[in-house]
Structure 1
């Protein structure tokens, strides 16, 4: 009889009849998530069902227990609100320059996020982060997308295309450059365009105004077609006009100096040097290369501070491409 009672007692306490409710609340007692009810054998180990709740961090536990023992009140996991640090996304070109303002992604702590490239520049992506998803934490996280936005294509223009400045506008030594030259183009002046290229990324058009002078169509300018002009138009009211009457009418000569000697094109120049029929006028089909000798008759300084070498064949080269 005693043995039967003992067996019944052991059988009774070994059943799955211990239920523990785990509640998820904030510091004010508000419910944050559905409660979890755990069922187990008496004195078995109890594994706590932790939960990650976006925007909150676990701060304390009430009625904590590690085994299944009767607990009519249940266990309370108490969370405090916490602001997550932002995720910052940088969009740069292959030169390391930002092509857009940094993006800030914000969200609740522990909530998931995904970093994405610029929709309009996806075709120019060349490097993306290894991982673009994660969860907001209390620390700032950063991502960087790299785009090849420097792709250029020739852009057809009329032979008699000019630009007119509507303000003092910056010019650059190459298309898509971020560093303007020291002197801007002055307000209300007209400049001839010799060629143009277009950026594939944003369709910006860059006009070449002669030599290493480029201006973007994004500047405060307007384009116009001049149907009548002369490449050899004489300079008016210029004391040097008698000596230099084969110059583009866009500029004035402010100084000149006779040279009459051979000068060499630098060896370290990695491209052929352009020769001009007139400064900033019509380009000659003939080119000079590194190491080649040229005979310079005169140096001319224009009112844009450029200096040009007049060659014995009547053509011109910018003096910066020569070794004097």
Structure 2
């Protein structure tokens, strides 16, 4: 290569344009350049639009989740014994709690513990206490055979529908003649009566004999009860015929006959199957309009005399009285005798009129 070619090649390697560059455009080294800030990209590499100064970012409201609580209810009696299985209610906190007010036969709601009107924030328990409802009492009457009280009435009390049992007097069980059917039972809303009737003589009672009529073969005393101590002022005449309603025998073997209004223990008598002096007609006692009820009726055909010259006759016991002046010892015929529940004794005459037994003398 000649000298001219060498110079030309050197001139081509250093062009003039490079030498004329301004210092204001000098590039910094790559290591000294400032970092380039780029907008972050989403995970899905979607482009992010620049926010406008006229637009506001919307507020996102998340839905509130409902909260619930439970209420456990216990229904128990005064001994804390459950009256039914426990009840559990569930509801949204703050909503109305509709408490079931349950009723139980024989009990009333006496107290409530931890009562709530709304479902609370936390689970809770409510206690309902019930007490027994008192029932009407049971009156126990201890009486003799005539219905008289041996002691003051006893009263049994308890809760409604609770069971009761009435007992005879202490030491008197061997002398009980009759006990009403309701000796045991349950307390109710109505007062009940239990009757114990005692026979202090320890008699053996029985029904009337098959020959139900007795003819007295001698004048015979009468008694209010089968006891020698209960003698009355009346005396039955010889050959009087009476109907027997029951009889009793003492431990010594003495026999007593119940004639309805009184008792007799004759030594001389004769029994008949029918009434030898009349028919065995059963007279019907009228249904009295007054407040007293008939306890016992005795039909008979017996002569008697009036004790007074002034006598009050009645259309029925205690009904429409009429007073008459009569001859002393006026004779009348008794058709039947009734005993009322106030223990008064009335005689109906064959004329249909009524008068109290105390105004007559049987003979």
Query: With structure 2 as the length reference, what TM-score do the two structures score?
Result: 0.32
Max radius of gyration: which structure?
A: 2
Query: With structure 1 as the length reference, what TM-score do the two structures score?
Result: 0.35
